[in-house]
Structure 1
Amino acid sequence: MSLLTDLINLNLSDYTDKIIAEYIWIGGSGLDMRSKARTLPGPVSDPSELPKWNYDGSSTGQAPGADSEVILHPQAVYRDPFRRGNNILVMCDCYTPAGDPIPTNKRFNAAKIFSHPDVAAEEPWYGIEQEYTLLQKDINWPIGWPLGGFPGPQGPYYCSVGANKSFGRDIVDSHYKACLYAGINISGINGEVMPAQWEFQVGPVVGISAGDQLWIARYILERITEIAGVVLSLDPKPIQGDWNGAGAHTNYSTKSMRGDGGYEMIKKAIDKLSHRHEEHISFYGEGNERRLVGSHETADIKNFSWGVANRGASIRVGRETEKNGNGYFEDRRPASNMDPYIVTSMIAETTLLWKP
């Protein structure tokens, strides 16, 4: 095993200019992440320097077997915390050989919205709070929980310390450092209300980069849990009953909201969101109806609401934002398994482009 570790940790830059690029994309379910690696002749810092590549879309549910090629377009580059050195992770989106985005390519439409002059001028910032649950392999039950049984009621686990309250911290801290190494603007982590449930935050990030960075952060977490022999769950309600669900609260602001008179702009944006509540909910994650039930710090999925410092509302405005007269708001509706390309671009489109 020591030889295997030595080989995994080889620093290629001591011996060759060649690097390894791990091309990453989203599979046919819209949530499964796929990746494969290729050798490049030298270091790369910009996606425009990278070649397009193809994969077998019939094996990912994205193309028929008789015409199976899907083309990967590199879009963003990050340092590889696993291979290290000059090796990179490459976030890609997917196209037909003719150059058309395939149906599961949600990045394409998001990029169109973020490149719109009216959106770009407002410099939309996002901070996404990604909640997730760590499960024991093969039995679909949270780590640290007794087999076939339950821990004590919620209360002592949120932001907790101690072997009887905090489960999986080594995975969480590994992920935190790996994201910082990669160049992800990860801004923090914390233990969540349900034991074995955690959260990391990505942001503030501008526009399309919010989706890129959250997907890469998810990929890194999936790789770390693979190494640890633990299963990552983004199910919005992994355990039924009196246990909190898992969301991806999305904090949002524009240049106008951050400036003088920003609070009035925030209220106007929230009013627009209220008129498109059902449409947003339909794109905010599978199984979200099991989470948004009006309890466990959620609003009922059928009713739109907002309030200051209210974690039981659809949209929460912070006390500091109210006091300062500018800032941001938090959309608490997105589920943990939401697609960040869809959610971030939809919020921008509704608040900046949509005309009631």
Structure 2
Amino acid sequence: MSPLADLMHLNLSDTTEKVIAEYIWIGGFGTDLRSKARTLPVVVTDASKLPKWNYDGSSTGQATGEDSEVILHPQAVFKDPFRRGNNILVMCDACTPAGEPIPTNKRYNAAKIFNQPDVVAEEPWYGIEQEYTLLQKETKWPVGWPLGGYPGPQGPYYCGIGADKAFGRDIVDSHYKACLYAGINISGINGEVMPGQWEFQVGPAKGISAGDELWVARYILERITEIAGVVVSFDPKPIQGDWNGAGAHTNYSTKSMRSDGGFEVIKKAIEKLGLKHKEHIAAYGEGNELRLTGKHETADINTFLWGVANRGASVRIGRETEKAGKGYFEDRRPASNMDPYIVTSMIAETTILWKP
């Protein structure tokens, strides 16, 4: 181990009670993650007991230079897989000094929806399938692809193994273990259809925690690719042509759906989603029209279609759910760059609160 690596892995608990807290927030683009660290005098595991902090919003596109202070409100705490020990990662939302959420703070309104009594009673669960693409740092071309050229056509890469089919597995496995260490309910990983593209799944997670866990899982992935010298892309169509795009399929159920007779509840919920298709599509990520073409396991962006075991549908119901007469469904429309706070709360609002 090099002297630098040795210092990076110092165990602070051997010499001090102080810990390092990395405060994480969403920047002015709505998809960019930012973070900075502070020292705490003792171990803290409860977000409500963490101090608020601030940052220069004029440097993140979230405030003017004349009034640049944005306040960080800690919301969720995770173990830090990079510093380890008692050190923590802290997911925050961002507000004005007066306590009002800034425009990119989508967690605030999501929490209001999840705190509605009707939503609380239904205990919404989510499982989010986050697809992403690993790119070579210098060329922004997928890892494993020949420079300026293309690999063989899709077919052997999905869940594939071998040096000519799986590119970046060391990053993917490192991310998997780091998320488990952090306390994120990551439930699996797999290679995707396009070479250099991968997926991890977060969930089942209840309510607002689904958004917290996915954002921190993205943060951990960005940090690992930073170390590896690789770029992670959440672009829903990173390579044009006959290549799969990248989505964030969102699996969803409520207490009523998981109970006997739930299949009828599921069908009514899907009918509501169909009636609000345009509103959901508008909120499901930038550049999604390049992905939702009716090809490559997608439904056309202008068409709402649902079916059992149909991966070319907007919403898919699994065979097990059909057989059991209860369970969950999968909204296949969200893009890989979607905001999970928006998508999860919008699904809950439409299916539980909205009365058409």
Range class of TM-score, shorter chain: over 0.9
Query: Within 1, Cα distance between the matches of 2:236 and 2:107?
Result: 22
Q: 1:97 maps to what in 2?
A: 97
1:281 aligns with 2:275: no
CA distance in 1, matches of 2:6, 2:127: 38
The superposition leaves residues 49-98 of structure 1 with CA deviations (integer Å, 9 ceiling, x where unpaired) of 10000000000000000000000000000000000000000000000000
SS in 1 for 2:163: coil
Shift of 1:262: 0.2
Provide the C-alpha distance between the structure 2 equivalents of 1:355 and 1:268, rounded to a whole number of angstroms: 11
Q: Which whole-Å CA distance do the structure 2 matches of 1:48 and 1:325 have between them?
A: 40
Distance in 2 (alpha carbons) for counterparts of 1:94 and 1:125:
25
Match of 2:81 in 1: 81
Distance, in Å, in 1 between the alignment partners of 2:153 and 2:6 is 44
Matched, 1:166 2:163: no
User: Which residue of 2 is the match for residue 298 of structure 1?
Assistant: 298
Q: Under a length normalisation based on structure 2, what TM-score does the superposition of the two structures give?
A: 1.00
Report the residue type matching 1:40 in the other structure.
L
Runs in 1 of length 4+ with deviation above 3 angstroms?
none
Cα separation, 2, equivalents of 1:344 and 1:5: 39
- Per-residue deviation, residues 222-255 of structure 1 (Å, max 9, x unmatched): 0000000000000000000000000000000000
Please tell me the residue identity of whatever aligns with 1:302. Answer: N
Question: Residue 246 of structure 1 corresponds to which residue in structure 2?
Answer: 246
Aligned length: 356
Alpha-carbon shift at residue 212 of structure 1 (Å) = 0.1
CA drift at 1:138: 2.2
Query: What residue identity is the alignment partner of 1:287?
Result: G
Equivalent positions of 1:189-228 (< 5 A) are 189-228=189-228
- Which AA in structure 2 matches 1:71? I
Partner of 2:72, secondary structure, is strand
User: In structure 1, what residue type is equivalent to 2:239?
Assistant: I
Counterpart position of 2:333: 333
Aligned equivalent of 1:146? 146
- Root-mean-square deviation (CA, aligned residues, Å) is 0.5
Residue 112 of structure 2 corresponds to 112
Q: Percent identity?
A: 82
Residue identity opposite 2:108 in structure 1: F
Q: Which runs of 5+ in 1 are unaligned?
A: none
Instruction: Kindly report which structure 2 residues correspond to 1:16-35, keeping only aligned pairs within 5 A, or say none.
Output: 16-35=16-35
Instruction: Give the Cα separation in 1 of the matches to 2:240 and 2:79.
Output: 38
Which SS does the other structure have where 1:142 is aligned?
coil
List per-residue Cα deviations over 1:121-149 (Å, max 9, x = no partner). Answer: 00000000000000000211000000000
Partner Cα distance (1:3, 1:303) in 2: 58
Residue 105 (structure 1) shift: 0.4
User: 1:84 & 1:334 partners in 2: Cα distance?
Assistant: 33
1:60 corresponding residue in structure 2: 60
Give secondary structure in 1 for the equivalent of 2:66.
helix
Counterpart Cα distance in 2 of 1:249 and 1:57? 32
Counterpart in 1 of 2:229? 229
